[in-house]
Each structure stands twice: as structure tokens, then as C-alpha cells.
Amino acid sequence: MAKTYTHNNVAPNTESTLKRIACGDFPTPKQIVSYLDSCVIGQNEAKKRLAVAVYNHYKRVASKLFGIGDDGPFADVEIDKSNVIMLGNTGTGKTFLIQNIAKMLGVPCHIHDCTKLTEAGYVGEDVENILTGLLRECDYDIDRAQVGIVCLDEIDKLARKGESMSVVRDVSGEGVQQSLLKIVEGDIVGVMPQGGRKHPEQPLIQVDTTNILFIGMGAFCGLEKIVEKRLHKDSATIGFNQKTAAVKEPNTENLLDKVTAADLSSFGMIPELIGRFPVVTHTNPLGKDDLKRIIQFPRNAILKQYQKLAYLDGKTLTFNDEALDMIADVALSNGTGARGLRGILETVLTDFMFDAADSKERRLLVNKYCVERALQGLSSSAAPVSRKRA
């Protein structure tokens, strides 16, 4: 029977990552998706795409490092590297998906903020520092680092000036995009062990990036407009009459599904870099129901965490549906995806947590009045939150 991966048996350290890759002990895309389903709500398309990309990536690593498949009919075929670009609004689970995949596979994962990177010669960070971060994640175990995952967060902020509406950099990001080319494609890179600028006297650690999976991610604000414009143009050239069904408004809901390399290039990413990220996927905006589910159901759901805290005080904590509705509405109007949920719950539960230890009440129910009062009266958080017996 196929193995089921849960957070209790992913245990990356029982066997080294490389040993598992060598004996093909790697979860299939379906197993990866099923693991992700336990911690990430929705985003089914992104889960599937990532699972396949990651699975293929590590098969390629197995063939490169351990010669698996070298004696078969495809012995002389080399599998190209498939880095990934993931688009999507803030707080929709981009980083969270990758963190969970890395945890499941037991590979080191480093998330690097690209906004700090500058080309050599400017004040800022060299691109090699990205690899210093990865080395730190695995205690400088170079062999593990060389099969790790690197997230290039906010890669969209490296867009060429003048092309994208979202660019805020003083120094052109184009130079940084250029300097990323070699690293993401696969190269031996001299890395400063402690980061910082290269210094002639400091010995460098040589890191081979051939088997490192790079995942560029960002909100790519304005990209949907570019896609929409292109779709309009494309559809306007179909048929004779602009008013035919062929030129109907494109469905704005899934414009990110239709992103092409040309759109990314219009956004301001250089074609050479886009070419090195052949897998493009995206997360969807989170709706109210998604947000409600995120509060309650993932393995580490925020509500479960507070319930555990209440349990440690000998209490049970529940929220009724109206209260959850209201919290999800507030998060939705903040436009920060699931990122704002913890802050809202923290505000709502401040009084509960303040009183819980001294109160004799064992069952705590949060209803919509509790939420209303807590969120309105941010300045008067000392006011007791009404409690009812569940």
C-alpha cells in the first residue's frame, strides 16, 4: 500500500536527504498534494503544479547525482532544470506552500527577500548571499544545501524600470536579474560563509547550484492588467466584428492562469531569466469561506492553537459561526489574505486570555458580540468580553 505522509512521519532527519533521493524514497505528486491538504487550504492548482515540479526536480537530481537511469534507453538524455515562478496576492499561501513541501521532503529551504539585492558595486546585498542563507539553514552541510530549495521572494520587485507599475527600486533591478542567471541555471558559486561583500582575503565556500530548486515568487501587481490587455488584443483580431462573442470581456477571475512568458517580459522581467523558470503557477485570492476554514481546519490552525492554550488552563474554547463570519469579513476587507487572521484573533481573544486563568468558567464561547466589541473597542480592551455557557 502507498505510504501516507503525515507530519509525524516526514521525519527528515532519520535518513539523510541524499540517501533517500539515491534510493528513490520520494513521495509521489499525489502524496505531496495529500500532505499539503492537511496544512494548506485551497490552492489546488498550485499544489498540483508544485508537486509535479518538485517530484520531477528530485528525479532529475537522482539521475544526475547517482546515475539512476544511466543504463537505460535514455542514458544520453539530460533532463533540464525546471525552476518555478509562483504568482499571487499577499497572504495567499505562496511561502507557506513551499515551507511545507520542504518540511515534508526534508530538504533545506531558504527564503530570500530579493528587494535587498543589488548588483555588484552598489550598496546592498550580493546575489551570492542567497546561498549563504541556504547554507545557514542546514548548518553549512554543503551536500544538503546543494539539493535544497531557495525561494526568491518578491522577485517581481526586480522588474525593469518603466515597464511595470509596481517598481519602487532606485537602482535598476535588471542588473540583479542578470546576476541571478548563472545561479539559477546551475553554476559553481563562491559564497562568503557569513554573507556580506566578498573580500579578497576571506576564503569562499564553493556551492554547486545545479541541483538547487529555485522558486521565484511575488504578487506581480499589474500583471493581470497586462494579460487582460493582451487577451483583448488577441480576441479583437479574431473574427470581423468587435462585438462578437469572441471579443467578450475576458474572465478577470483567472487571468493569472493565462500568464505567458511574454506577459512576464512586458512586466519587466528579462527574457533570459523567464526562460530559466519554465514552470509558472499562481495562488488564488482567498475568499471568505477559505479564510473561515483557515482559522479552523489546518493542522496548526490558529483556532486550534488558542484552544490548546485554553485547554492548558482546563477550559474549552469555541467560536460560533457568526463570530467566524465576522472575523473573516474583517480579514477580507483588510486585503492581506490569511496573514491578518492571527492579529484579529489576538485582538478578539485578549480579554479571554487575560481572564481565563482566574475565571471559574470552564466553557468559553466567542460569539459575534465578543468580536464586535473587541474590534470596535481596540482602545478599551480592558472592557470584559461577554461570555456565555456553550
Ligand X SMILES: Nc1ncnc2c1ncn2[C@@H]1O[C@H](COP(=O)(O)OP(=O)(O)OP(=O)(O)O)[C@@H](O)[C@H]1O
Residues that bind ligand X (CB under 6 A): 40-43, 88, 90-96, 219, 294, 298, 337-339
CB of 337 to Mg ion, least distance (A): 10
Cell of 5: 505522509
CB of 90 to ligand X, least distance (A): 3
CB of 180 to ligand X, least distance (A): 19
Q: How far apart are CA 211 and CA 142, in angstroms?
A: 12
Whichever of 88 and 186 has its CB closer to ligand X, that residue is 88
Whichever of 93 and 250 has its CB closer to ligand X, that residue is 93
Does residue 296 interact with Mg ion by CB under 5 A? Answer: no
Site for Mg ion in 350-379 (CB under 5 A): none
Coil, strand or helix at 110:
strand
Burial class (CB in 10 A: 0-12, 13-18, 19+), 95: middle
Does residue 95 interact with Mg ion by CB under 5 A? Answer: yes
Does residue 82 interact with Mg ion by CB under 5 A? Answer: no
Stretch that binds Mg ion, among 19-27, 28-36, 90-98, 132-140 (CB under 5 A): 90-98
Nearest position to ligand X, beta carbon: 93
H helix runs in 81-137, sequence order: 94-105, 129-137
User: Could you say which of ligand X, Mg ion, none residue 108 binds, taking C-beta under 5 to 8 angstroms by partner kind?
Assistant: none
Nearest position to Mg ion, beta carbon: 95
CB of 44 to Mg ion, least distance (A): 19
Q: How far apart are CA 174 and CA 36, in angstroms?
A: 34
Whichever of 227 and 338 has its CB closer to ligand X, that residue is 338
User: Could you say which of Mg ion, ligand X, none residue 298 binds, taking C-beta under 5 to 8 angstroms by partner kind?
Assistant: ligand X
Total Cβ atoms within 10 A of residue 51: 22
Q: How far apart are CA 52 and CA 61, in angstroms?
A: 14
CB of 159 to Mg ion, least distance (A): 17
User: Could you say which of ligand X, Mg ion, none residue 219 binds, taking C-beta under 5 to 8 angstroms by partner kind?
Assistant: ligand X
User: Residues binding Mg ion: what is the number (CB under 5 A)?
Assistant: 2
**Contacting residues for 237 by C-beta, under 8 A, at least 6 apart:** none
Whichever of 27 and 337 has its CB closer to ligand X, that residue is 337
User: Could you say which of Mg ion, ligand X, none residue 276 binds, taking C-beta under 5 to 8 angstroms by partner kind?
Assistant: none
Whichever of 94 and 276 has its CB closer to Mg ion, that residue is 94
Contact 283, 92 (CB under 8 A): yes
Whichever of 186 and 337 has its CB closer to Mg ion, that residue is 337
Radius of gyration of the CA atoms of the chain, in A: 24
| Cβ-count burial 375-390 (b if 16+ within 10 Å, e if not) | eeeeeeeeeebebeee
Q: What angle do CA 350, 290, 343 make, to 5 degrees?
A: 20
| Cβ-count burial 326-362 (b if 16+ within 10 Å, e if not) | bbbebbbeeebbbbbbeebbebbbebbeeebeeeeee
CB of 258 to ligand X, least distance (A): 20
CB of 303 to Mg ion, least distance (A): 22
Q: How far apart are CA 185 and CA 73, in angstroms?
A: 26
Whichever of 41 and 176 has its CB closer to ligand X, that residue is 41
Q: How many CA atoms lie within 13 A of 323 on its CB side?
A: 24
Whichever of 43 and 211 has its CB closer to ligand X, that residue is 43
User: Could you say which of ligand X, Mg ion, none residue 338 binds, taking C-beta under 5 to 8 angstroms by partner kind?
Assistant: ligand X
CB of 40 to ligand X, least distance (A): 4
Residue 125 backbone zone (phi > 0: left; psi -120 to 50: alpha; other: beta): beta
In eight-state DSSP terms, residue 3 is P
In the complex, the residues that contact Mg ion under the rule CB under 5 A are 94-95
